[in-house]
């Protein structure tokens, strides 16, 4: 690097750029490590079945605000965002480890609530707490959960298998979590101004819950299995549809066409978007934290997919990797760009 060149900053690179940059010298030599960095989870062969590992670090003030996040919900969410990554590999979650760093402001009863939420998630999704680490921090709460799952090698779905003409599908609806967050942030400001005022969340319960207590889509994985469909590629939507779609395209070496009018948006998301003066499609494309599944299936599965509830076909895979288009309702063709949430810009 020349001396006159400005040193790279972390926010120049962004989260994914930073990971790529820091890990570029780590070459995989172990043939049993089928997938390292660059998918929802790492995969390694252990006998007949593969073991999958994913990890997620949640930081107070960056990923959550305890003014409006109940610790029980936070514990639940911290687990399920990891399980979502395992489901996005078509794997079964089995174990988690939980590391927490807490400042002196936290009481034991507060941490009990956190672990209550962790336990509800473990029980609901059949996962065992296998270990962890507990220490103190100088300020704030840090939660790092690592989830371990398993799958038969032939069942695993990577980000890299999308093929020309495959249908692009999403589960559930998008943008709700982002709108729920906007609502909570608004009520936080009101509360800071006058703590006597009760939050106004009536009629928006669904999107608030999408933010505070997202559900990983185990049901979609099961539904696809029962229908005899193995997606050709899959990812969970944590950073917004645009960002995740670009990951699938990059990893699969293909392009895509995504149609605005096909993107599923909940009525509460529509209503909140109108209230905040946001285009609902922008919330859906760039909002993030929906933890829905984005996946591709071969075109000949169209009839089967259309019969499945809670799955929408939103576009198709284009063979040219430079053709990544978003088609708004007016029929124009815009380049698909990621404007998902970047935790490195804070």
55-94 positions binding a copy of itself, by CB under 8 A: 55-57, 59-63, 94
Phi-psi region of 61 (alpha: psi -120 to 50; beta: other; left: phi over 0): left
Give residue for tokens 């499609």: 281
Find the shortest distance in angstroms from Cβ 75 to a copy of itself: 10
Residues 341 and 16 sit within 8 Å (Cβ to Cβ): no
Residues in 131-190 that interact with a copy of itself by CB under 8 A: 131-140, 142, 144, 146, 148, 150
Q: Is 191 in the site for a copy of itself (CB under 8 A)?
A: no
Q: Is 328 in the site for a copy of itself (CB under 8 A)?
A: no
Q: Which stretch binds a copy of itself (CB under 8 A): 25-33, 166-174, 180-188, 282-290?
A: 25-33
Handedness of CA 215, 317, 35, 12 (dihedral sign): negative
Nearest partner of 256 among 342, 345, 191, 325, judged by Cα: 325
Q: Which stretch binds a copy of itself (CB under 8 A): 124-132, 262-270, 304-312, 330-338?
A: 124-132
What span, in angstroms and rounded, lies between the C-alpha atoms of 27 and 25? 6
- Residue 181, CA distances (Å) to 118, 208, 286 in order: 21, 7, 13
Of these, 102, 283, 294, 311, which contacts a copy of itself (CB under 8 A)?
102
Find the shortest distance in angstroms from Cβ 97 to a copy of itself: 5
Find the shortest distance in angstroms from Cβ 94 to a copy of itself: 7
Nearest partner of 98 among 71, 58, 68, 67, judged by Cα: 58
Of these, 66, 69, 70, 97, which contacts a copy of itself (CB under 8 A)?
97
Q: How many residues bind a copy of itself (CB under 8 A)?
A: 78
């Amino acid at each position: 690097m020349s001396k006159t060149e400005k040193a790279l900053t972390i926010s120049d690179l962004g989260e994914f750029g930073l990971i790529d940059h820091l890990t570029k010298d780590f070459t995989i030599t172990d043939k049993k490590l089928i997938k390292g960095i660059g998918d929802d989870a790492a995969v390694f062969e252990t006998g007949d079945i593969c073991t999958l590992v994913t990890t997620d670090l949640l930081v107070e003030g960056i990923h959550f605000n305890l003014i409006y996040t109940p610790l029980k919900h936070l514990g639940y969410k911290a687990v399920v965002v990891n399980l979502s990554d395992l489901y996005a590999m078509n794997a079964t979650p089995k174990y988690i480890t939980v590391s927490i760093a807490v400042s002196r402001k936290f009481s034991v009863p507060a941490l009990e609530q956190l672990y209550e939420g962790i336990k509800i998630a473990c029980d609901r999704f059949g996962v065992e707490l296998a270990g962890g680490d507990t220490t103190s921090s100088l300020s704030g709460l840090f939660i790092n959960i690592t989830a371990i799952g398993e799958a038969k090698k032939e069942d695993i779905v990577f980000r890299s298998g999308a093929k020309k003409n495959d249908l692009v599908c999403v589960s559930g609806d998008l943008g709700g979590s982002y709108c729920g967050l906007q609502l909570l942030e608004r009520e936080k400001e009101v509360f800071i101004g006058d703590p006597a005022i009760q939050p106004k969340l009536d009629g928006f319960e669904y999107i608030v819950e999408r933010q505070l207590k997202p559900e990983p889509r185990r049901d979609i994985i099961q539904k696809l299995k029962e229908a005899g469909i193995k997606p050709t590629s899959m990812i969970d939507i944590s950073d917004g549809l645009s960002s995740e779609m670009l990951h699938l395209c990059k990893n699969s070496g293909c392009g895509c066409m995504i149609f605005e009018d096909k993107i599923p948006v909940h009525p509460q998301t529509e209503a909140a978007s109108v209230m905040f003066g946001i285009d609902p499609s922008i919330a859906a494309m760039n909002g993030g934290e929906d933890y829905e599944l984005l996946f591709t299936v071969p075109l000949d599965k169209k009839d089967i997919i259309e019969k499945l509830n809670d799955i929408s076909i939103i576009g198709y895979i284009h063979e040219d990797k430079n053709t990544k288009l978003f088609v708004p309702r007016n029929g124009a063709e815009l380049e698909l760009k990621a404007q998902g949430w970047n935790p490195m810009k804070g």
